[in-house]
Amino acid sequence: MNETTATLRWEGGVDGHLMLLDQTRLPLDVVEVPCRTVEEAWDAIKRLVVRGAPAIGVAAAYGVCLSIKNGEAAVYDVVEACRYLATSRPTAVNLFWALSRMRRVAEAPTATSGPALAEALLAEARAIHDEDREMCAAMGRHGADLVADLPEGVGILTHCNAGALATGGDGSGLSPVFELARRGKRPRVWVDETRPLLQGARLTAWELMQRGIDCTLICDSMAAHVMRAGKVQAIFVGADRIAANGDAANKIGTYGVAVLAEAHGIPLYVVAPTSTIDMTLATGAEIPIEERAAEEVTEGFGRRTAPAGVRVYNPAFDVTPYRLIKAIITERGVFKPK
Ligand SMILES: CSC[C@H]1O[C@H](OP(=O)(O)O)[C@H](O)[C@@H]1O
């Protein structure tokens, strides 16, 4: 399959709407779905139709623009849209960062209303999207530069999906992998399937195969064996929120990968735009961790694999302490947690 459909895009002008590549349908179907109301945008974020911290932020910014009616925007509607969209998912700080930018447009002392505010809101959402594209490219360069001395055929392990599907551009955690491939390094990627929602199996493997990059899908439980066999020289993951001390929240299972990485002397790199850094939180202990429905574990993708009524704990993220992170790669450069 060689599909190149944008993760998300705005169609039309101030009376336009948001188009999303429905990530719940991948890899079997490449389907775009429209969001024409703020409520539809909320639902798309909640159900992971669009997902990944930067992509959630960009989608929320466009979601605020869906409060525009007949080409006119009203401050009250914008503020209400921001409040509502902020309740969709709690962990990815990019969501709140993007919504605060949109709200500032409406509440600025020089703010306008009606058609002028509508144009200003759409311009801000487009700016957030364009900036994300640029950040993705920069993270790819910085990440590839950091591991430039690794040999051709370097083994890289990934967890979850931090590719183009998780951003408004060409990815965060996967961006250095794409850049290494462009530089002829022929990376060999070991893709954690990433239970329970299988973002690795469904999305990362799909993205890598789309680009002809060597990848091998493994169950999460196989990562230790693969590392011990010397098949992994570096690990790249994304992040949903990074605290001031460098602790990073990412998809559940990342902390376990980080502990395994330390045990095997393999560097683990977190790749995230600075919009993912939350300086209001001193440590990762304060990062809100989303808990999701039990059915994602007991009957993922419609097939029951656990007894009815079994108790389930389904945290969608965990926190990797900074001491297990070799470096944090952002669009502004590489930071090594002290
Ligand atoms: C580039 S951020 C990607 C980040 O988001 C994913 O979570 P979800 O799929 O639930 O949105 C995962 O934590 C990825 O690392």
Residues of the chain with CATH 3.40.50.10470: 138-335
Nearest CA to ligand 1 atom 8: 52
pLDDT tens digit sequence for 104-152: 999 988 888 899 999 999 999 999 999 999 999 999 999 999 999 999 9
The ligand 1 atom nearest the CA atom of 56: 11
Q: Is 331 helix (H, G, I), strand (E, B) or coil?
A: coil
CATH superfamily of 138-335: Translation initiation factor eif-2b; domain 2 (3.40.50.10470)
- Check pocket membership of 160 for ligand 1, CB cut-off 6 A: yes
251 labelled ligand-binding: yes
For residue 52, pLDDT beyond 80: yes
Residue 212: partners with Cβ closer than 8 Å, 6 or more residues away:
none
pLDDT at 45: 98
Length of the chain counted residue by residue: 338
229 labelled ligand-binding: no
What is the Cα–Cα distance from 210 to 207, expressed in whole angstroms?
Answer: 5
- Check pocket membership of 251 for ligand 1, CB cut-off 6 A: yes
- CA 163–ligand 1 middle distance (angstroms): 9
The ligand 1 atom nearest the CA atom of 172: 1
Q: What's this model's pTM, rounded to 2 decimal places?
A: 0.96
Residues of the chain with CATH 1.20.120.420: 3-134
- Check pocket membership of 167 for ligand 1, CB cut-off 6 A: yes
Nearest CA to ligand 1 atom 1: 162
- CA 114–ligand 1 middle distance (angstroms): 36
53 labelled ligand-binding: yes
- Pocket probe for ligand 1: among 22, 160, 202, 254, the residue whose CB has the most ligand atoms within 8 Å is 160
What is the Cα–Cα distance from 338 to 335, expressed in whole angstroms?
Answer: 9
Residue 300 exposed, middle or buried by CB count within 10 Å (0-12, 13-18, 19+)? middle
pLDDT tens digit sequence for 187-222: 999 999 999 999 999 999 999 999 999 999 999 999
DSSP state of 129: H
The ligand 1 atom nearest the CA atom of 249: 13
- Check pocket membership of 88 for ligand 1, CB cut-off 6 A: no
pLDDT at 4: 63
202 labelled ligand-binding: no
- CA 240–ligand 1 middle distance (angstroms): 6
pLDDT at 302: 87
Residue 237: partners with Cβ closer than 8 Å, 6 or more residues away:
158, 159, 160, 162, 173, 250, 251, 254, 257, 268, 269, 270, 271
Residue 322: partners with Cβ closer than 8 Å, 6 or more residues away:
245, 246, 247, 248, 284, 337, 338
Q: Is 20 helix (H, G, I), strand (E, B) or coil?
A: strand
Ranges 183-187, 248-252, 298-302: which has the least confidence = 298-302
pLDDT at 336: 87
pLDDT at 1: 35
3-134: what CATH class?
mainly alpha
With residue 176 as reference, give the H or E element that holds it.
Answer: helix 175-182
- CA 122–ligand 1 middle distance (angstroms): 25
- CA 160–ligand 1 middle distance (angstroms): 7
304 labelled ligand-binding: no
Does the interface ipTM go beyond 0.90?
A: yes
